[in-house]
Structures are given as C-alpha cells and as structure tokens.
C-alpha cells in the first residue's frame, strides 16, 4: 500500500476506521492517499497491522487509548476505542499520518546534535539560554572559561553563574523589554562587558547575542570571547602613550608623522597640537616644502630630509631657524626616523601605495640657542677679561701709588692752592682709572662682595663719568647728585655696575639720542626709617604695562639678540638684598623712570673713630710692591701707628715674634705665599687671633670667615686704609 500525493492539499491525512475482526469501513482524507485500500477489507487486523492488533487485544471494553502504529513505511497516530462487547463493531479508530512529522523530528534531533557538536568543538565559549535566562546549552569552552561544568551550569540562570551582581538588574530588565517588544539594544550587536567566573574573578569579555525562535520556544545564543589580554595590552598602550605624551610635555615638544609616496611626496600627515603650534601654517608640509624656514638654513634642512627619507641616513636630525610673525626668529630642533612599509599593493586613502612613514618630534630650542649664544659671548668676554684682569692688577698697584703719594703730598705745609688743585685732579683721574680697572677685572671674574658704608652720590657721579664714552654726544645728561645725604651699607662696585646697567638701558631705549636725568634725594618719613631715592629717567620709547610686569624677570629682554635680559634683573636683586624697592613708571613714546629706594645705614659712631688713642698700636705691613709699601707705611705713621714693613712672607715670619703686632696688613699676592696663608701661620706663631686687613687688586679673593678681619680692593684711598686699620685696632 502506497500513499498518494494530492496536489494542493496541505492538511495532514486522516484515517477513520471501524473494526471488528475484519476491516469494515475506511473513511477520511486518508482515502485520497492510500492505494490498494480495497485489499484491506475483510482481512483480520493482525494481517495488516499486527502492532495495532496487539494493542486492541489488551484494551478493555469502553476504554480508549492513544496509539501509534505503522503500515509499511508510514506511521500513524490516533485514538483507539474499544466498544461494548455486545455490539458488532468492536473498535473505532481515528488516526493521522505522522510520517513526515516523524521525519522532521528526526531532522531536528539531528540538527540539535550537529549544533551541540559545533558548540563543543568551538574555540570560544557558547552559552544558550531560554526566555527565563535559564541555561539550556553550555559548551566545553564555556566550562573552561567560567569554571562551571555543563551538568551544573545547564538549568541554572545566567544571573546565578556569569553576570556580575550590579549588572543583573539591567539584564533582567532587558530580557523583559525584549519579550514585550521584540527589541533589544544588545541583540545582534557585538559589545564589551564584564563577566564573573565561579571563583568571583571579574574579567572583560566580548559578547554577541542572537535570538533563535523554535516552534515551542525562543532561545538566545551568546558567543563569548575573553578579551583580558587585549584589554591589558590596550591599557599598556594607553599607559605608554600617556608616558610618551608626558615626556613630550616635559620636553615641550610636539609629534608628527608624514606618510610618503614612492617618490617621496607627501600623501598624508598626522600632527599633534603642540607640533602645530611650533610649526605654524607649514605643519602639514614636509620640511623640504616649508616656506617659513630661514633661507640660510633651508639647504641643510632639505639635504638632511632627503637623506633620511631615501634611507641613506638612519635618522633625520636638524636644527634650524624659523620665521614667525613680524619676522621674529625662532629656533626649532627636529628628530625623525624612517619606517618602511611592506604592504606595497595597498592604497592610502585612495592614493598610490605609500612607501614609507617618517615619524618624529619637533622642539622649541630658541631659549637654549639664546643661552648658548650668551654663553659663547661670555666665554669670549672671559678670555679677554682674563688678559685684562692681569693687566689691571698691575695697573692697580701703580694707581694706588699715584693716589697715595698725591694724598701725602697734599698734606705738606705751605703748598700753593694751584698745587693742591693739581693733587685733586690727580686723585680724580686715579678714581676714574680705578673704575676702569675694576671693570676690566670684572670681565675676567666676579668680585667678592665688599660691604662698607658708601656715599651713593659719589658712586653715581663716578659711574656717569665712566659711562660718558658709551653714551655718546647725542644724549644729554643732567644729574642732581648732592653729597652728604647719608650712607648706605653695601658694596660700591655692585652699585656702580647697577647704575651703569640702568644708564645703558636708558641709552638703548632712546636709540642713541635724548635726555637722561639722574637724581638722588633723601626722604625722612615720619615714623619710618630714612632712605635715599635715586631716579634714572629717559625720554625713550617707553614700555607697555604688560612689558613693565615682565621687565625684572631674568632673561626677559626687549632688545632681541642684543640683550641678555640680565641687567635689570641684577639691579632688582641688589635692591632686594638691601631691603629696598625698585619701581618702574613707563609710558609709550614718552619715556621710562626707574626709581630705587634704599634704606640709609643706622647712624652711629663709625669704625675707626679718629679720637681713639693709638699709642702703642703696632701695624705689621707686608706688601711686595716697592712703590706702595713705603707710601702705605707713611700714611699709617701719619695716622698715629707704629709700623714695621716687610716685602715677603719669609721675612715676616722671621720678625713676627719681635714685632708683636696689633694689626696685620697683608697683600694677598705675595711672592711664594698667599697673604691668607701667611695670616694663618702668623696667628699660629703668635698664639692669638691678631686682627688682619687684607689688601688685593684681584676680584677672585674671598676673605676667610675669621673674627676681626677686613679687606680693601686696590686702588683705594689712604683715608679708607687708615679708617679700616683704626677700626681693627680699636
């Protein structure tokens, strides 16, 4: 018996049978599909369906039973009812052809087995859950990743196994929304999220979820990948980039990357913000094409770029000048390396294949270059200064002798007035020579600080005379510098340098012509200390308010390469050290006034009061210069001291015990032995700390920090010598 196919019919075949021991009636749509049905009539049930006959034999009267049986290769399912035994019809059978359904179940079972096999062999974890988030499938990779074996995971919920606690409410809400609307933000998408394993360890995963609708239910399959290594690598990369950026920030450098074609032309550029600031409008051009590079530096830059980009040099490294706004010149340093590309068949943004990339950094080195130039100038100046210093030292001795003898000569009785005036001219010339030699010595080495009471009016007057050659005839100088206003406790040479710096600044501000006014006055405010106020005023171009704010900062200059930015800063430091105040008043196109306010020294008895009795005070003078030694001795004798004068240290040590001096006056540069070494030996020989006055023509002497010591720098006035020795003696 075969089943016929009836075109256009999709309903399942139905069999209606009434049975006794023989087939009595067959009805329903099955008749359309069964061939040879007439052969079944009159035959015992056991002949055409022994399986059904066995079921019928065990079925009590008036009872029914669900049955499934086969006829040939076909399967049927239905209900068999046993009638009352008194009736002629023993059984009623209602059945339906389930052959195709059975095949579908087999196919579905096969498919499920195939899916499970794919899940079990998948390298990534695969987890399937139903609408209640209960796990229905769990492969071996999932067991390895999450630590839950399949027999424990299947039947549990996702929230009980792999979803972190704080993410569970969001998961349940998302599932509820999907069931209600059929929509879910994570379905069909690839997301990154955290999961948790059986031990409680949290780790990042990549997750893709796809819904699957089955006849009896909906399930969701999740394909999972542990991305811990990738996330850690990304974190290391971010950390590395952060450290690189920190290094670039510390260097004040910017980064660039240029992608080059086979011929070396630019295909693309990646420039960070700092590099854009440093390179300006040419930032996205390779160096050979930049228009802002100084003409004198263009050749070396282009040559260095060509060698590096063509692989003939292992790196691109160059320093060059760049023109900025207003033709201001900046220095840039660039360093780059060539990275060859291997994907020769690829395209870069739709253009021909890029052969290479050049990656590098750019740095602003303007300040370094300015410092280098300043240092080079300082070294040249130092070399000149060392020669000048040696010459000035010898000249100081000569000037000291001239000044001293002029002073002694002026003390002679009955000299004509004209002779006395000549002596003053000589002394004035010596003072100007002293300023010149002091500056010559300062070229070679800085001077040690020599604090003393000084008359600022005298220092300013001498400095203006010294500055006359550098000011020029086109600058008119007017000064109001009265003496006798009071003393300040400071270093005269430092004040001379400070006033000279301010005068030179004024000259530069006036471009070589104008009016320079220098004045000094005393202020005695009620309830406050007395002070001196010095003002240096010019009629130059003036400064804007923002420039005034920066004017005293070290290395700030408005003179470009001609300035060092140190002059006004040095003045500011000096005034601060003296507890004074520096003020700047300036107006564009009108001029500038620098005002220095300095406290006066506390009035009182000055060291070396001439009224002190010097009877019995003996000075031991050691000076090798033959012109100075007798002159210094004569001046001290005239002052009231007993004087023993020798020319070197050996002679001094031979006589020291017999002299028993009250004060030592020692030249530092003695033949064979320095004056400070001799002082130590004399003190040791005498067994007491005899007072010492050191005299020197050099700036590199720093007097020892002993009790009762002082020093004078040559050339000096005899009255300064007498005053200091008198102070040490008393």
What digits encode the pLDDT tens for the residues 176-185? 888 888 777 7
- As a whole number of angstroms, the distance between CA 570 and CA 647 comes to 40
Q: Rounded mean pLDDT of the chain?
A: 77
- As a whole number of angstroms, the distance between CA 270 and CA 198 comes to 46
Q: Give yes or no for a contact between 566 and 553, defined as CB atoms under 8 angstroms apart.
A: no
CA–CA distances in Å: residue 102 to residues 15, 51, 75, 106: 17, 18, 8, 6
What average pLDDT score do residues 626-641 get?
Answer: 85
SS3 content of the chain, % helix, strand, coil (to 5): 40, 30, 30
How does DSSP assign 81-121, residue by residue?
EE--TTSS--EEEEEEE-HHHHHHHHHHHHHHHHHHHHHHH
Q: Give yes or no for a contact between 53 and 70, defined as CB atoms under 8 angstroms apart.
A: no
Cα 484 to chain centroid, rounded: 55
Give the 3-state DSSP-derived string for 200-249, with helices as H, strands as E and coil as C: CCEEEEEEEEEEEECCCCEEEEEEEEECHHHHHHHHHHHHHHHHHHHHHH
Give residue 29's pLDDT: 52
What average pLDDT score do residues 531-559 get?
Answer: 81
Say if residue 34 is preceded by a cis peptide, omega within 30 of 0. no
Q: Give yes or no for a contact between 575 and 491, defined as CB atoms under 8 angstroms apart.
A: no
Confidence band, pLDDT 50/70/90 cuts, at residue 438: low
Confidence band, pLDDT 50/70/90 cuts, at residue 4: very low
CA–CA distances in Å: residue 323 to residues 275, 280, 288, 301, 445: 15, 10, 15, 14, 37
- As a whole number of angstroms, the distance between CA 342 and CA 359 comes to 16
Confidence band, pLDDT 50/70/90 cuts, at residue 297: very high
How does DSSP assign 332-371, residue by residue?
EEEEEEEEE---TT--BTTBSPEEEEEEEEEEE-HHHHHH
- As a whole number of angstroms, the distance between CA 285 and CA 271 comes to 10
- Angle formed by the axes of helices 718-729 and 366-410, to 10°? 90
Give residue 319's pLDDT: 92
Low-confidence winner among 272-276, 550-554, 597-601 (lowest mean pLDDT) = 550-554
Dihedral over alpha carbons 487, 492, 496, 502 (to 10 degrees) = -60
Is 196's pLDDT higher than 90?
Answer: yes
| Joined tokens for residue 106 | 């087999």
- As a whole number of angstroms, the distance between CA 627 and CA 428 comes to 20
- As a whole number of angstroms, the distance between CA 417 and CA 406 comes to 14
Q: Comparing 499 with 105, which gets the higher pLDDT? A: 499
What digits encode the pLDDT tens for the residues 155-174? 999 889 999 999 899 888 88
Confidence band, pLDDT 50/70/90 cuts, at residue 342: very low
What digits encode the pLDDT tens for the residues 138-149? 888 899 999 999
Low-confidence winner among 287-291, 294-298, 397-401, 503-507 (lowest mean pLDDT) = 397-401
- As a whole number of angstroms, the distance between CA 476 and CA 38 comes to 146
Is 264's pLDDT higher than 50?
Answer: yes
What average pLDDT score do residues 547-564 get?
Answer: 68
What average pLDDT score do residues 526-534 get?
Answer: 79
Within 512-582, residue ranges assigned H as helices are: 545-550, 567-577
Rg (CA), the chain: 55
Q: Give yes or no for a contact between 282 and 301, defined as CB atoms under 8 angstroms apart.
A: no
Give residue 498's pLDDT: 85
- As a whole number of angstroms, the distance between CA 376 and CA 370 comes to 10
Greatest mean pLDDT range, 39-48, 95-104, 332-341, 381-390: 332-341
CA–CA distances in Å: residue 200 to residues 166, 194, 268: 13, 12, 48
Q: Tokens 């620098």 map to which residue?
A: 594
Is 337's pLDDT higher than 60?
Answer: yes
Is 100's pLDDT higher than 60?
Answer: yes
CA count, 13 A, side-chain hemisphere, 559: 20
- As a whole number of angstroms, the distance between CA 117 and CA 140 comes to 10
Cβ neighbours, 10 Å, residue 48: 15
The conformation of residue 1, written as its DSSP 8-state character, comes to: -
Q: Give yes or no for a contact between 385 and 440, defined as CB atoms under 8 angstroms apart.
A: yes
What digits encode the pLDDT tens for the residues 463-475? 888 778 777 788 8
Give residue 354's pLDDT: 47
- Give the residue among 471, 478, 543 at the shortest CA–CA distance from 512: 471
Give CA angle at 563 (559, 566), nearest 5°: 125
Letter string b/e over residues 574-591, b meaning 16 or more CB atoms within 10 A of that residue's CB:
bbeebebebebebeeeeb
Q: Residue 139: what are its φ and ψ, rounded to 5°?
A: -90, 175
Q: Residue 589: what are its φ and ψ, rounded to 5°?
A: 65, 10
| 3-state class (DSSP) for residue 76 | strand
- As a whole number of angstroms, the distance between CA 311 and CA 302 comes to 14
- As a whole number of angstroms, the distance between CA 349 and CA 353 comes to 9
Within 252-365, residue ranges assigned H as helices are: 273-279, 295-309
The percentage of the chain sitting over the pLDDT mark of 70, rounded to a whole number, equals 71
Confidence band, pLDDT 50/70/90 cuts, at residue 375: confident
- As a whole number of angstroms, the distance between CA 567 and CA 169 comes to 72
What average pLDDT score do residues 53-62 get?
Answer: 77
Is 712's pLDDT higher than 70?
Answer: yes
Q: How many residues does the chain have?
A: 730
- Give the residue among 585, 577, 596 at the shortest CA–CA distance from 521: 596
| Joined tokens for residue 703 | 């007097």
Give residue 317's pLDDT: 92
The conformation of residue 671, written as its DSSP 8-state character, comes to: T
CA count, 13 A, side-chain hemisphere, 143: 14
Residues 6+ apart with CB under 8 A from 279: 254, 256, 271, 290, 292, 322, 332, 362
Is 127's pLDDT higher than 50?
Answer: yes
pTM: 0.38
How does DSSP assign 129-168, residue by residue?
EETTSBEEEE-HHHHHHHS--HHHHBTBBHHHHTS-GGGH
Letter string b/e over residues 542-564, b meaning 16 or more CB atoms within 10 A of that residue's CB:
bbeeeeeeebbeeeebbeeeebb
- Give the residue among 537, 553, 550, 552 at the shortest CA–CA distance from 587: 537
Give residue 5's pLDDT: 34
Is 269's pLDDT higher than 70?
Answer: yes
Low-confidence winner among 128-132, 405-409, 647-651 (lowest mean pLDDT) = 405-409
Give residue 569's pLDDT: 76
The conformation of residue 39, written as its DSSP 8-state character, comes to: G
- As a whole number of angstroms, the distance between CA 41 and CA 37 comes to 7
Distance separating the N- and C-terminal Cα atoms of the chain: 151
What average pLDDT score do residues 641-651 get?
Answer: 87
Cβ neighbours, 10 Å, residue 106: 10
- Give the residue among 671, 684, 688, 686 at the shortest CA–CA distance from 622: 671
């Amino acid at each position: 018996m075969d089943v016929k196919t009836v075109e256009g019919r999709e309903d399942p075949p139905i069999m209606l049978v009434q049975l006794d021991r023989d087939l009595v009636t067959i009805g329903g749509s099955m008749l359309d599909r069964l061939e040879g049905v007439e052969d079944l009539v009159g035959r015992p049930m056991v002949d055409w369906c022994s399986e059904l006959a066995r079921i019928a034999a065990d079925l009590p009267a008036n009872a029914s039973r669900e049955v499934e049986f086969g006829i040939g290769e076909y399967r049927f399912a239905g209900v068999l009812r046993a009638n009352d035994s008194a009736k002629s019809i023993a059984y009623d059978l209602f059945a339906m052809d389930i052959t195709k359904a059975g095949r579908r179940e087999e196919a579905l079972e096969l498919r499920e087995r195939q899916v499970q096999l794919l899940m079990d062999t998948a390298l990534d974890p695969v987890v399937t859950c139903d609408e209640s988030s209960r796990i229905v499938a769990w492969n071996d990779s999932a067991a390895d990743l999450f630590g839950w074996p399949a027999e424990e995971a299947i039947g549990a919920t996702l929230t009980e196994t792999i979803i972190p606690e704080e993410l569970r409410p969001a998961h349940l809400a998302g599932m509820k929304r999907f069931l209600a609307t059929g929509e879910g933000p994570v379905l069909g998408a690839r997301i990154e999220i955290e999961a948790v394993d059986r031990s409680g360890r949290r780790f990042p995963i990549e997750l893709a979820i796809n819904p699957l609708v089955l006849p009896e239910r909906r399930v969701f399959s999740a394909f999972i990948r542990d991305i811990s290594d990738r996330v850690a690598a990304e974190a290391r990369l971010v950390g590395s980039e952060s450290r690189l950026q920190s290094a670039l920030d510390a260097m004040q450098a910017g980064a660039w990357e240029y992608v080059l074609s086979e011929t070396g032309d630019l295909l693309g550029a990646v420039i960070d913000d700092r590099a854009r600031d440093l390179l300006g409008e040419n930032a996205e051009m390779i160096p050979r094409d930049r228009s802002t590079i100084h003409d004198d530096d263009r050749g070396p830059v282009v040559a260095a770029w060509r060698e590096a980009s063509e692989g003939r040099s292992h790196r691109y490294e160059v320093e060059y000048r760049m023109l900025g706004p207003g033709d201001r010149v900046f220095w840039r340093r660039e360093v780059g390396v060539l990275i060859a590309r291997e994907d020769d068949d690829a395209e870069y943004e739709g253009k021909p294949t890029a052969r290479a990339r050049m990656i590098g950094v750019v740095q602003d080195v303007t300040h370094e270059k300015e410092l280098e130039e300043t240092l080079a100038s300082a070294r040249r100046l130092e070399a000149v200064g060392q020669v000048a210093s040696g010459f000035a030292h010898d000249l100081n001795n000569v000037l000291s002798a001239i000044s001293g003898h002029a002073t002694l000569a002026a003390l002679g009785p009955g000299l004509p007035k004209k002779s006395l005036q000549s002596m003053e001219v000589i002394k004035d010339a010596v003072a100007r020579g002293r300023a010149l030699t002091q500056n010559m010595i300062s070229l070679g080495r800085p001077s040690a600080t020599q604090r003393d009471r000084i008359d600022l009016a005298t220092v300013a007057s001498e400095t203006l005379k010294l500055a006359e050659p550098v000011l020029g005839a086109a600058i008119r100088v007017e000064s109001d510098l009265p003496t006798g206003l009071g003393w300040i406790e400071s270093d005269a040479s430092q004040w001379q340098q400070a006033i000279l710096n301010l005068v030179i600044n004024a000259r530069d501000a006036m471009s070589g012509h104008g009016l320079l006014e220098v004045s000094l006055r005393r202020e005695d405010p009620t309830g406050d200390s007395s002070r001196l106020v010095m003002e240096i005023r010019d009629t130059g171009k003036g400064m804007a308010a923002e420039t005034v704010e920066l004017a005293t900062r070290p290395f700030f200059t408005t003179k470009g390469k001609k300035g060092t930015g140190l002059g006004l800063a040095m003045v500011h430091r000096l005034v601060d050290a003296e507890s004074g105040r520096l003020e700047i008043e300036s107006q564009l196109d009108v001029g500038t006034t620098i005002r220095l306010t300095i406290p006066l020294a506390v009035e009182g008895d000055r060291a070396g009061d001439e009224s002190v009795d010097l009877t019995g005070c003996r000075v031991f003078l050691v000076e090798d210069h033959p012109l100075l030694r007798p002159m210094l001795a004569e001046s001290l004798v005239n002052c009231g001291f007993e004087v023993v004068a020798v020319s070197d240290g050996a002679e001094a040590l031979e006589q020291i015990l017999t002299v028993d001096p009250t004060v030592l006056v020692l030249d530092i540069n003695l033949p064979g032995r320095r004056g400070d070494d001799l002082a130590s030996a004399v003190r040791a020989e005498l067994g007491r700390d005899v007072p010492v006055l050191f005299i020197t023509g050099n700036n590199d002497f720093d007097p020892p920090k002993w009790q009762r010591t002082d020093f004078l720098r040559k050339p000096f006035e005899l009255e300064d010598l007498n005053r200091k020795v008198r102070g040490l003696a008393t």
